């Protein structure tokens, strides 16, 4: 959390408000948040934000100055947010980075994180490429069903762990892994290689539809998530299983949702979700 849908919502706001703007100031309150390239940050002042993209759950700002482009990659971790002025109320304490902007409808972009899991990297192109290659698998929206079914179906690992493995498929976290598996009718502990072709196809389609529905609803607000303008997500109102322990299965199978605690919490219907 934020997972792929929330990151996509943030991206949409950033593109509308800060794409094409110029960075006129950069204040770093907590230097340990910058994991790479701290000494290069003065370079970013005067650069223009030319592109904003997403890899898994991380956001990349491409900043251009003259013929050179450098990159700011932000991982939001469990609790991180990008905020515009006006949505920082009650959050000023944990603003670690403040970017002052010119030629934009918002004067600042803030990187806020009450915990230390967030990380920011300042990269040149070569180091960005190396980092992305090492860190992230394929984006689920960029995966064909053949590639998806091979990735899951050729592994002896548990299907939920496979969905969560960022090196294989980038962007799915615990909320959406639970919702996707429920939608597909697959048990979280099912082994990838034991799934039938039909189950793998259902899993592929559930992945696409759950993530797209979540984006359309502005993501899920569990704890603190909001878009940069302060808007909360609404997809949590449509969760079928996540944090729904002991509530009736929405399919009406007369069973209640159970919780399994191993690694991350799994929420599932023991009747509707099968192991093959
Ligand atoms: Zn059920």
Among 264, 270, 271, 274, the active-site one is 264
Q: Average pLDDT in the 167-180 region?
A: 96
Domain with CATH 1.10.8.50 in the chain: 140-268
Task: Please report which confidence band the pLDDT of residue 92 belongs to, taking 50, 70 and 90 as the band edges.
Answer: confident
State the pLDDT at residue 263: 63
Instruction: Tell me: pLDDT of 66 over 90.
Output: yes
Q: 95 CA to middle of ligand 1, Å?
A: 43
Q: 268 CA to middle of ligand 1, Å?
A: 8
Residue position matching structure tokens 């944990």: 94
**Rounded to 5 degrees, what are φ and ψ at 120?**
-125, 140
Q: Which of 31-35, 108-112, 115-119 has the highest mean pLDDT?
A: 108-112
Among 57, 70, 158, 183, the active-site one is 57
Q: Average pLDDT in the 203-218 region?
A: 98
Domain with CATH 3.20.190.10 in the chain: 4-135
Q: 182 CA to middle of ligand 1, Å?
A: 9
Whole-angstrom CA distances from 92 to 24, 87, 96 are: 21, 10, 9
CATH topology of domain 140-268: Helicase, Ruva Protein; domain 3 (1.10.8)
Mean pLDDT, the chain, rounded, equals 95
In the annotation, is 160 catalytic? no
Least Cα distance to 89 among 234, 233, 226 occurs for 226
Q: Average pLDDT in the 32-57 region?
A: 95
Dist. CA 81–CA 112, nearest whole Å: 5
Q: 186 CA to middle of ligand 1, Å?
A: 11
Q: 271 CA to middle of ligand 1, Å?
A: 5
Instruction: Tell me: pLDDT of 89 over 90.
Output: no
Decide: 31 and 100 in contact? Cβ < 8 Å: no
Instruction: Tell me: pLDDT of 117 over 80.
Output: no
Task: Please report which confidence band the pLDDT of residue 93 belongs to, taking 50, 70 and 90 as the band edges.
Answer: confident
Q: 162 CA to middle of ligand 1, Å?
A: 23
Among 2, 140, 188, 228, the active-site one is 2
Long-range contacts of 5-8 (CB under 8 A, 24+ apart): 5/176, 5/211, 5/214, 5/215, 5/219, 5/220, 5/233, 5/235, 6/214, 6/219, 6/220, 6/225, 6/233, 7/54, 7/56, 7/57, 7/58, 7/59, 7/76, 7/171, 8/54, 8/215, 8/219
In the annotation, is 57 catalytic? yes
Q: Which CATH architecture has domain 4-135?
A: Alpha-Beta Barrel (3.20)
Question: Considering the chain, what percentage of its residues have pLDDT values greater than 90?
Answer: 89
Instruction: Tell me: pLDDT of 123 over 90.
Output: yes
CB atoms inside a 10 Å sphere around CB 256: 14
Predicted TM-score of the model (pTM):
0.95
Task: Please report which confidence band the pLDDT of residue 129 belongs to, taking 50, 70 and 90 as the band edges.
Answer: very high
Q: 224 CA to middle of ligand 1, Å?
A: 30
């Amino acid at each position: 959390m934020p997972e792929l849908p929330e990151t996509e919502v943030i991206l949409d706001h950033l593109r509308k408000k800060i794409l094409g703007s110029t960075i006129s100031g950069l204040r770093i309150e907590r230097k340990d948040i910058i994991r790479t390239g701290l000494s290069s940050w003065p370079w970013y002042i005067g650069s223009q934000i030319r592109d904003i993209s997403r890899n898994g759950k991380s956001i990349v700002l491409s900043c251009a100055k003259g013929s050179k482009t450098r990159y700011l990659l932000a991982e939001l971790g469990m609790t991180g947010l990008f905020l515009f002025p006006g949505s920082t109320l009650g959050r000023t304490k944990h603003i670690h980075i403040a970017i002052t902007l010119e030629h934009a409808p918002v004067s600042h972009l803030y990187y806020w994180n009450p915990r230390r899991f967030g990380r920011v990297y300042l990269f040149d192109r070569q180091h960005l490429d190396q980092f992305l290659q090492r860190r992230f698998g394929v984006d689920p929206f960029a995966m064909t069903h053949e590639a998806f079914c091979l990735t899951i179906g050729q592994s002896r690992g548990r299907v939920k762990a496979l969905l969560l493995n960022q090196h294989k498929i980038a962007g799915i976290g615990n909320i959406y892994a639970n919702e996707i598996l429920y939608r597909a009718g697959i048990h979280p502990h099912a082994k990838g290689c034991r799934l039938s072709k039909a189950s793998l196809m259902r899993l592929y389609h559930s992945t696409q539809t759950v993530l797209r529905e979540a984006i359309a609803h502005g993501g899920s607000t569990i704890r603190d998530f909001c878009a940069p303008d302060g808007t909360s997500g609404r997809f949590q109102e449509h969760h079928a299983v996540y944090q729904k322990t002991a509530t009736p299965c929405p399919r009406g199978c007369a069973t209640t949702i159970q919780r399994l605690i191993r690694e991350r919490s799994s929420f599932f219907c023991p009747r509707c979700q099968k192991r093959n």
